[in-house]
Amino acid sequence: MDRNSTGTAYESRRRSRAVIFLGLLLMGVCMAVITHVMTRVFIEKQRRLAIEWSHKGEAALKNGEQLQAVSDFQTALVYDRENSQYRLRLAQALIAAGQLNEARSHLLHLWEEKPGDGFINLELARLSAQQRDLLGVLRFYHAALYGVWDVDPERQRDQARLELIEFLLQHNENTQARAELIAFSSTVPNRIPDLLQLGRFFFQAQDYENALSTFQRALRIDRHTRELQRQAGEAAFNLGRFGTAARYLHENSDNSDPEAQRRLETIHAIQDLSPYQHRLSERDQFHRVVLNFQLAGNKLQECVQTRAPQTNTAAPAVQADYSQWQQLNSVLDVDHLRADPELMDRTMNLIFTIMTDVEKVCPLGARDTALLLIAKYREQVER
């Protein structure tokens, strides 16, 4: 075959290929249109099915049929896999059905997509709380607090913080709880119910200082609220501010509140027994020390005779306290107290030790509690 005929055949093939390519382009356009139509119809069908099954899921959840709701939302997700709302509802249905691991998996999935979403973080925090995952609780609640909320963000954040505080208090994580409460307190409105709740939280977290100031803040709004007075009195009592405590508890005095009555008795006993009371002469001071010492010894003897033998762990401590008391009792009097400046402190230390050990074994009355508190707070006892 010569060069010209080869070239002609090539040209012919090239032209026919060009024509066929053009034909393929046209066919491609047609196929694109057909595929587009098919896809649109199909996607629309899937969308409708997803909506239908999600409605069924919502109805099942309302009727308390959690497992059915799970199945319905799973089906909805099959038809609309990108729908985060369905996935969230599925997670909530799973939580309601007690399938926490599965719920967590879906929530983490959502979290991967929107790590800053307040609601998703809140759900994960709640789930972590149910699963007693402290690290998860802290992580996700904090993320919820600083996350993005579409609706009513301030209220949602406060709610999240409250839940976190309740969780921490339930699990005796008082240090963490106190930090959260301090942050929370800046957003609490000046309403008595809110301040009362905040104060109670502070009290539960053993932050009596902040508890007292919160109750006092509330009392400035309405000083006659009995519950506030009582709580303020308790907080002041725990701080050793017995004078303040007495004032609040007196104002709230009500024979139907035995606890408040007990507190007042204790406070009166402190006022009667404390050698650190204001304007006491030195002689009276030392007399009171000796009196407290005798009272402590009497209580100790009573406890040793009635209860100590029955409690193995406390018995040695109480027995040891008693022998120490006997030793000191042989030398303790007003003259020795005057002569030895350190004797008073040693005496009060022993009283504190005695009453602390007795408290573990025997019930303390108002006077015994007063002895303990006097020995504990000493000069810090608010007069």
Structure tokens at 230: 């009582």
State the minimum distance, in angstroms, from the CB of residue 260 to other proteins: 50
State the minimum distance, in angstroms, from the CB of residue 88 to other proteins: 14
Q: What are the φ and ψ backbone dihedral angles of 117, each rounded to 5 degrees? A: -75, 125
Q: What are the φ and ψ backbone dihedral angles of 146, each rounded to 5 degrees? A: -105, 10
Of 35 and 170, CB closest to other proteins: 35
Of 105 and 298, CB closest to other proteins: 105
Cβ-count burial 86-124 (b if 16+ within 10 Å, e if not): bbbbbbbbbbbbebeebbbebbeebbeeeeebbbbbbbb
Instruction: List all residues 6 or more positions away from 110 whose beta carbon is below 8 Å from its beta carbon.
Output: 84, 87, 88, 91, 117, 120
State the minimum distance, in angstroms, from the CB of residue 20 to other proteins: 6
Of 132 and 360, CB closest to other proteins: 132
Nearest residue to 39 (alpha-carbon basis) of 28, 49, 31: 31
State the minimum distance, in angstroms, from the CB of residue 11 to other proteins: 6
Of 6 and 327, CB closest to other proteins: 6
Of 107 and 195, CB closest to other proteins: 107
Mapping DSSP to helix (H, G, I), strand (E, B) and coil, where does residue 364 land?
coil
Structure tokens at 91: 């997670």
Query: Which run of H or E residues covers position 179?
Result: helix 174-185
State the minimum distance, in angstroms, from the CB of residue 57 to other proteins: 12
State the minimum distance, in angstroms, from the CB of residue 109 to other proteins: 5
State the minimum distance, in angstroms, from the CB of residue 126 to other proteins: 18
Structure tokens at 50: 């997803």
Of 112 and 150, CB closest to other proteins: 112
State the minimum distance, in angstroms, from the CB of residue 108 to other proteins: 5
Nearest residue to 344 (alpha-carbon basis) of 302, 299, 374, 382: 374
State the minimum distance, in angstroms, from the CB of residue 116 to other proteins: 16
The maximal CA–CA distance of the chain, rounded, in angstroms, is: 142
Output the DSSP codes for 62-89: HTT-HHHHHHHHHHHHHH-TT-HHHHHH
- Please compute Rg for the chain using Cα positions: 38
Of 81 and 346, CB closest to other proteins: 81
Reported residue count of the chain is: 383
State the minimum distance, in angstroms, from the CB of residue 115 to other proteins: 11
Of 86 and 184, CB closest to other proteins: 86
Binding site for other proteins (CB under 8 A): 7, 10-11, 13-14, 16-17, 20-21, 24, 27-28, 31-32, 34-36, 38-39, 42, 45-46, 49, 52-53, 71, 74-75, 78-79, 81-82, 99, 101-102, 104-106, 108-109, 112
Of 11 and 254, CB closest to other proteins: 11
Q: What are the distances in angstroms from CA 81 to CA 70, 109, 284, 356?
A: 15, 12, 84, 64
Of 102 and 251, CB closest to other proteins: 102
Q: CA quadruple 353, 358, 359, 365: dihedral positive or negative?
A: negative
